[in-house]
Each structure stands twice: as C-alpha cells, then as structure tokens.
Amino acid sequence: MLFERVKKDGNIEYAYVFAGTDSFNDVIEDIIQLLGCAGQYSYAISNAKKLVGDLDGNEITFVGHSLGGGLAAAASMATQKPAVTFNPAAVSPLTMERHGLTDGQYIKNYVAIGPQYGNYCIGKGPVSDIQELFGLISPGYTQYVPVGFHLNWGAYHSISTMINYLKP
C-alpha cells in the first residue's frame, strides 16, 4: 500500500507499506524465502525499483512488520532507500544472493523484547527467537524496544504490542 503526504516545505514524501504474515500462503513464503525463491520478495523488489524510478526523486520509505518487514528490507537494499521495520523476518542469504542485495545501511529495525535482567532478556517473540537460533540476522540497525512482560510468547511479535507501546 502506498501512502503520500505533502511536507511543510511542499515536498512530497511516500511510504510504501508491506503487510505482515496473515495467511497460510504467507507462512509458506516465509519458509521458502529461506531458500531464496519466494515470489513475494521478487515482486516487492521489482515494484520498489519501478516505484523509485517513477517518483522523480521524491522521498520514499519502505515500511513493514514481520514478513512485510523482510519485504521492506529487501526493497530498501534493492533501491538504497530507507526502510523502517517492526519485528522483521530476516532476509535470507540465498534471497540476498539471488537478487544481488548487499547493503542494509538504510534499514532500521524495531524489535520488541521483554524485561531485561543484566544481559539476559525474557522473550523477543517466536520469529526473532527462531531466526537467532538459526543464525539469521535482519540486515540494518536493530533497536530493541522493551514492551514489558507478556505471558503469551507471540505477543512480543505482534504489531499490536508494538503499537500500544509506541502510542504517546
């Protein structure tokens, strides 16, 4: 989904927002992306390149949560435009190789975490924990967001948890 706003200086800024995992087919995409052959990633990269070319130099930021965060990161690496992600799916080395993606310097990841005790953190959510278990790291800079204690492990991954924490 593409959003547009006119800034105070009259310049136009765009946000291309990718949805997170919300269907069984998305779960399959999450898995096959590890093998470098997920169609959603190819489509996101292709669309991002075309969109950046059509915007006549206007600002664009890619945004996403979970699967959408991985798509936003891939779009950023393909175009060298900024991305903001929330609890993102890591872009696998095979996906990066297939699409020639190498530089995550324009990506900022926000990852929800539970309470910290010294160097130990209680919970990051299933996606973050499983990715770390397999050595998958989201490209870019990661900012950990302490969202408090949750009994439900999945709550750490939920975009609702992040939104509730970030609300003023």
The predicted-structure confidence for 46-73, as pLDDT tens digits, reads as follows 999 999 999 988 899 999 999 999 999 9
Beta bridge partners of 85: 64, 109
Q: What phi and psi values does residue 132 have, to the nearest 5 degrees?
A: -65, -40
Q: Average model confidence (pLDDT) for the chain?
A: 88
DSSP 10: S
Q: What phi and psi values does residue 34 have, to the nearest 5 degrees?
A: -60, -25
- Tell me how far the alpha carbon of residue 102 is from its chain's centroid: 16
H-helix or E-strand spanning residue 141: strand 141-146
* pTM score, whole prediction: 0.89
Measured CA to CA in angstroms, residue 90 lies from 18, 65, 139, 164 at distances of: 14, 11, 7, 23
Q: Which CATH class is domain 2-166?
A: alpha beta
What whole-number distance in Å separates Cα of residue 99 and Cα of residue 81?
Answer: 16
50 class by beta-carbon count within 10 Å (0-12 exposed, 13-18 middle, 19+ buried): exposed
Half-sphere exposure of 95 (CA within 13 A, CB side): 30
Q: What phi and psi values does residue 93 have, to the nearest 5 degrees?
A: -55, -35
- Spatial contact of 124 and 111, defined as CB atoms under 8 Å apart: yes
- Spatial contact of 65 and 56, defined as CB atoms under 8 Å apart: no
- For residue 114, the model assigns a pLDDT of 76
Which of 46-60, 111-125, 128-142 shows the highest mean pLDDT?
Answer: 46-60
